[in-house]
Amino acid sequence: MSIRILLTGGTIDKLYSVEEGELGFEESHVEEMLDRANVTAEIVVEELMLKDSLDISENEREQILQACEACDEECVLITHGTDTMVETAELLGEAGIDKTIVLVGAMIPYTVRDSDAFFNLGFALSAVQLAPGGVYIAMNGMLFDWDNVSKNFDEGRFECIEDDSSG
């Protein structure tokens, strides 16, 4: 089973610039993370963009949708910023693509100490291989259905909109 990883950016791939005192992008860290974790699954990495999710336009969201539809892989993992991850998941979920699609991000960049990025990527990589077809968000050690998730900005975590004690 081959897995397509679509890179769109987000905090998971941000780098802190000491000179500028801010976070930005140079290149993705995902392939380094996969190597570091000694991942042996067959993976195809495709960089669509490296952007803060607040800067992703509706046209770019459509580009993500088209990339999901066009790829041969039935398992698709998307790195994405957490601020608008739910909106992208909603677009993909409503499209009804017959694949397993998992969006993942981080609250702390991979390159910063105590980041959640490495854990989140590993969890999402497992989820995309094990979950049935559908669109999901993998964050905080939980797998959320695209239509039952929201980001709690105050707590810095994702939560179910409706309590689902069965999952």
- Give all strands (DSSP E) within the chain, no chain letters: 2-9, 15-17, 22-24, 42-51, 75-79, 100-104, 134-139, 142-145, 150-152, 157-159
129 contacts 75 by C-beta, under 8 angstroms = yes
**CA of residue 83 relative to chain centroid, distance:** 11
Report the alpha-carbon distance of residue 149 to residue 159 in Å, rounded.
6
Is 11 among the catalytic positions?
Answer: yes
Whose structure tokens read 């980001």? 151
Closest CA to 77 of 6, 164, 157: 6
Active-site position among 8, 11, 79, 82: 11
User: How far, in Å, are 30, 34, 131 from residue 42 at the CA level?
Assistant: 14, 11, 17
Q: Which residues are catalytic?
A: 11
